[in-house]
Amino acid sequence: MQTGFSLIEALVALLVLSVGLLGLAGLQLLGMQSSHSAYQRTVASVIAADAGERLWIKLAEEGGELTQADVQAVRDDWRDHWQHQAGADADGNYPVSLPGMSDASITCDNDNVCLISVRWSEGRFDEPGDESQFEYRVRLPVDITNGSS
């Protein structure tokens, strides 16, 4: 009467084990996605902080005065530096970069606050067309004029 019952028990145990292993694989994948997302957000933070530091350096170079043209020059140089890094340096080290970076901007308002924005796409994890964004604000101690330097 109980012939084959052990085989059914073994198959049920195998099914339960398989579902458990699939759950663990899903958790591992989610952990990897979260880790990669955190890494990219950290790189975006470094990129934005670099722009803020470049604004302060430009302010010092210009003797404490800053114009919109100066901000534009900083933005162009900063964007070019971060968007066009490729390959290894002479020591074989690869630069830190954000491969999916689609836009980087610096806009300053009348209160001397500059908003630095970095956008990127995590192609492997985002839906098509979705972008992540990091914003960083820097308050400068001088008025930013519209005149040319």
Domains identified in the chain, total number: 1
Enclosing domain of residue 141: 37-145
Per-residue model confidence (pLDDT) at position 149: 44
Report yes or no on 113 lying in a domain.
yes
Within a domain: residue 1? Answer: no
**pLDDT level of residue 92 (50, 70, 90 thresholds):** low
Q: Is residue 41 part of a domain?
A: yes
Domain assignment present for residue 22? The answer is no
Whether 32 maps to a domain, the answer reads no
| Long-range CB contacts for residues 106-109, cutoff 8 Å, separation at least 24 | 106/51, 106/55, 106/71, 106/74, 106/75, 106/78, 108/68, 108/71, 108/140, 108/144
Cα(97)–Cα(39) distance, rounded to whole angstroms? 11
Q: What is the pLDDT of residues 30-79, one digit of tens each?
A: 999 889 889 889 999 999 999 999 999 999 998 888 889 999 999 999 98
